[in-house]
Amino acid sequence: MRAIRQDTFGGPEVLKVVETERPVPGPAEVLVRTHATSVNPTDVWHRATGGLRDDGVPVPLGWDVSGVVEAVGIGVTVHKPGDEVFGMPRHPLPAGTYAEYVTAPARQLVRKPAALSHEEAAALPLAAVTAWQALVDVARVRPGQRVLIHAAAGGVGHLAVQIAKARGAYVVGTARSAKHALLRELGADELIDYTQADFAAEARDMDVVIDAIGGEYGPRSLRTLRPGGIVVSLASPEEAALARRAEPLGLRAAFMAVEADGAGIREVAALASDGRLRPVLDTVLPLERAAEAHALAETGRTTGKIVLTVGG
């Protein structure tokens, strides 16, 4: 099969198309013929630095997958060959979805919503499950709460806007003015152009802040919260330092790393099936242009997701 691999860490140019052995599903696993995958910040991070690994060996990139079950391993009862499925297998362990075939634990994949193309479905799993876990599992957003979402037009952000609205929240987003019309279509109630105004002065009485940017955004976001509010950081693991600053103010802070989650992807699939969650596709490229997709992702100016098509 064709797959994207790298021999060393570095820029997008290290990504190459190679021929490699097709994987075989083990017990409780399925083999998926990949139709589409997508590019996430964690892919860029692992490509450039190796992520948290310290053995100096690059991992096969890609965690999102949408495709068709080709074969099933011993003990699989939830899927059969021919089923259209999607999900985010194995994360944070390597999944290698930048490939024509991928194996995955069967219960980490769910049926693809009929309303979504494979490209749209592949854009959802990692980003949408991240948003779901941050908003629901960590922040426990309730109807009527006020939620501030940074980088609201980004891969995680535009999905977090929709999930927060589906939970009944009042949603404030930070984004450049050119992206405000789209975010209003997705349900945002209020928008702040961070290039023109200080969000910490504009946003008030927030219950929850979702921060996918990091750096000073965490400490500045504390100023927007009402007592008991929480900042959930997706970008910086300096949670202890931020928590120490938050506690005397009667606030909370947490860092969250997304985990492969069958329950979470089922919730995402249900929202997409109901029409309450739709991915925005910034760019769709074929697998062999993965390096170009990574270069685009590194600009930090995309709206929604970058998707790679793998097969038909």
User: What pLDDT is attached to residue 312?
Assistant: 54
User: What pLDDT is attached to residue 240?
Assistant: 76
Q: What is the largest CA-CA distance in the chain?
A: 57
Task: Kindly list the structural domains of the chain, giving each domain's residue range(s) and its CATH number in brackets, ordered by start.
Answer: 2-124+279-309 (3.90.180.10), 127-255 (3.40.50.720)
User: What pLDDT is attached to residue 236?
Assistant: 74
User: What pLDDT is attached to residue 52?
Assistant: 78
pLDDT in tens, 170-223: 999 999 999 999 999 999 999 999 999 999 999 999 999 999 999 999 999 999
User: What pLDDT is attached to residue 53?
Assistant: 79
Which helix H or strand E contains 33, and what residues bound it?
strand 29-39
pLDDT exceeds 70 at position 134: yes
Q: Render 143-203 in DSSP notation, one character per residue.
A: TT-EEEETTTTSTTHHHHHHHHHHTT-EEEEE--GGGHHHHHHTT-SEEE-TTTS-HHHH-
- What residue type is 287 in one-letter code? L
**Rounded distance between C-alpha atoms, residue 249 and residue 241, angstroms:** 14
Kindly state the average pLDDT of the residues 145-162: 98
**Rounded distance between C-alpha atoms, residue 151 and residue 199, angstroms:** 12
Report phi then psi at 142, rounded to 5.
-120, 160
pLDDT in tens, 55-111: 889 999 999 999 999 999 999 999 999 999 999 999 999 999 999 999 999 999 999
Kindly state the average pLDDT of the residues 13-31: 98
pTM here is 0.96
User: What pLDDT is attached to residue 158?
Assistant: 98
pLDDT in tens, 42-70: 999 999 999 877 788 999 999 999 999 99
pLDDT in tens, 229-265: 999 999 877 777 898 999 999 999 999 999 999 999 9
Kindly state the average pLDDT of the residues 144-162: 98
